Amino acid sequence: MSQLPLSVREPLAEYAEQQAQARGFTDASAFVEHLIDADRRDALRSQIERALAEGLESEAIEVTPDWWAKKRELIASVTAESAS
């Protein structure tokens, strides 16, 4: 795990400590990590929703077995690239 030096105003530090304790986190760092992860998930969800809306607004296409084969190849190549 990497370190991220973070300075916040005292009232925010106190709030983070209080929320960490109230919500069952081990410390304020774990609470802040949770907040960052939740923000990341929200951003990904928004990105997916935008892509879905764009797809729904686009022109219809004919989905054939050949189309599916090309999509599978594309997904496999992207998955392989992200794994390396």
Q: What is the pTM of this model?
A: 0.66
In a domain, 55, yes or no: yes
Give the separation between CA 51 and CA 21, rounded to whole angstroms. Answer: 38
Residue 31: which domain range? 10-83
DSSP letters of 2-44?
--------HHHHHHHHHHHHHTT-SSHHHHHHHHHHHHHHHHH
On whether residue 1 sits in a domain, the answer given is no
2 domain-assigned: no
- Tell me the per-residue pLDDT of 2-18, one tens digit each, with 9 for 90 and over: 999 999 999 999 999 99
- Over the stretch 22-62, which tens digit does the pLDDT of each residue have? 999 999 999 999 999 999 999 999 999 999 999 999 999 99
3 found inside a domain: no
Give the pLDDT confidence score for residue 84 in this predicted structure: 67
Residue 59 maps to a domain: yes
What is the domain count for the chain?
A: 1
Q: How far apart are CA 32 and CA 27, in angstroms?
A: 9
Q: Is residue 35 part of a domain?
A: yes
